[in-house]
Amino acid sequence: MVHHKLLGASLFALLSLFISSQLFAQEAIEQRQKLMKGQSANAKAIKGAVEKKDYATVEAKAKEIVGSSQKIVDLFPKGSTSDKSRALPAIWEKWDEFSKNPVKLKDAASDLAKAAAAKDDAAIGTKVKALGDVCNACHKPFRAEKKG
Ligand code: HEC
């Protein structure tokens, strides 16, 4: 009888743990996809602003990417995948490599913000390209082509 209760309690605890980690993963996936969409919108805004030589917007949007880049690693808790996520297991298998990418993103966005503040057209052109390269360099090894 006592044994049954104990078994029941530990099964319940395990089940709750499982459910809460699933919820945790689901929330992290939603949040990082939202963050990535925001980065994409910022990157597009930057391209448009570069064409108009709107340096203030380039600088502001680059700084937003500096901010969001620092939230990336926390939104990839171990094993957080689902059929709605394109995150590849390589993220956690090569965590050291993966976790360097948000730092590269922060540096690239911060370089771009500086070039925009200096209104340096040539540097802005180079830094915009470098920023896009960082996005692609992380997507290639760590993001699946398609969902599911
Ligand atoms: C640290 C690696 C990394 C960096 C850097 C990175 N991404 Fe991502 N990105 C990912 C991963 C992994 C996913 C898939 C997330 C998922 O589906 O769970 C993703 C997903 C996306 C998505 C799809 C979001 C959705 O709605 O499913 C967009 C858009 C995107 N990234 C844009 C960008 C842009 C633009 C940049 C650069 C400014 C960037 N990313 C930088 C790793 C990265």
pLDDT one-digit tens code per residue, 51-77: 999 999 999 999 999 999 999 999 999
List pocket residues of ligand 1, CB cut-off 6 Å. 29, 32-33, 36-37, 39-40, 43, 65, 72, 85-87, 98, 101-102, 105, 134-135, 138-139, 142-143
Residue that wins the pLDDT comparison between 19 and 109: 109
Q: What percent of the chain has pLDDT over 90?
A: 80
Q: Which of 111, 43, 38 is nearest to 71 (CA)?
A: 38
CA of 36 to the centre of ligand 1 (A): 5
pLDDT of residue 80 exceeding 60, the answer is: yes
Which pLDDT does position 46 carry in this prediction? Answer: 98
Q: Whole-angstrom Cα distance, residue 112 to residue 64?
A: 11
Q: Which of 117, 44, 17, 109 is nearest to 71 (CA)?
A: 109
- The whole-model pTM stands at 0.90
Contact 86, 147 (CB under 8 A): yes
Query: Of the given ranges (17-21, 98-102, 135-139), which has the lowest mean pLDDT?
Result: 17-21
pLDDT category at 38 given cuts 50, 70, 90 is very high
Which pLDDT does position 53 carry in this prediction? Answer: 97
pLDDT of residue 86 exceeding 90, the answer is: yes
46, 104, 139, 142: residue to mutate for ligand 1 pocket, most atoms within 8 A of CB: 139
The third-level CATH classification (topology) of the domain covering 2-142 is: Four Helix Bundle (Hemerythrin (Met), subunit A) (1.20.120)
Q: Which of 27, 55, 61, 63 is nearest to 41 (CA)?
A: 61
pLDDT of residue 1 exceeding 70, the answer is: no
Which pLDDT does position 2 carry in this prediction? Answer: 65
Which pLDDT does position 16 carry in this prediction? Answer: 84
